[in-house]
Structure 1
């Protein structure tokens, strides 16, 4: 079953890493207050991506529900990061979020 989830697990882990990097980089921006929503969603997204990867790796009976929520959170985070495209870390994070959302949607299709 793990092979069935392999690509989605990889996208979730990549997204988690990009969100953690974006979170850290946003905290170092001059106007942190302007980045508050991005920072908050980076944390939420990193956490749900970690949970989704873990759930798939252990073949949890809740994989579809977790992946559905992961796709929603990734989409929200990607949309927020895309607003800050002049920050390279936000641009990379948005791309990872959208790829992860797509992979999670394939898992629940």
Structure 2
């Protein structure tokens, strides 16, 4: 499901988790999980297009001032067979805790 960035900005203190999904070529997509639900929502612009960013710092910038306390970078690799893992197995994605948008002074 999607949520507009303008709607996210009205949710001060209600965002449980901010997920930055890393993809090839320095592309990041952003998802939020609200405190009242377990569903991940893709953040999109006012036209309904999913927002894309070129760095994790750029991806966090629109979320400054929202009181987010849990920010995670998620990276899934499509190249597992290249490093000796069986091609049929899909391992859990790498998840790394990041500084929250309000704590990032970049």
Q: Which interval holds the TM-score relative to the shorter structure? A: under 0.3
**Greater percentage in strand:** 2
TM-score normalized by the length of structure 2 = 0.25
TM-score normalized by the length of structure 1 = 0.25
| The structure with more radius of gyration | 2
**Greater percentage in helix:** 1
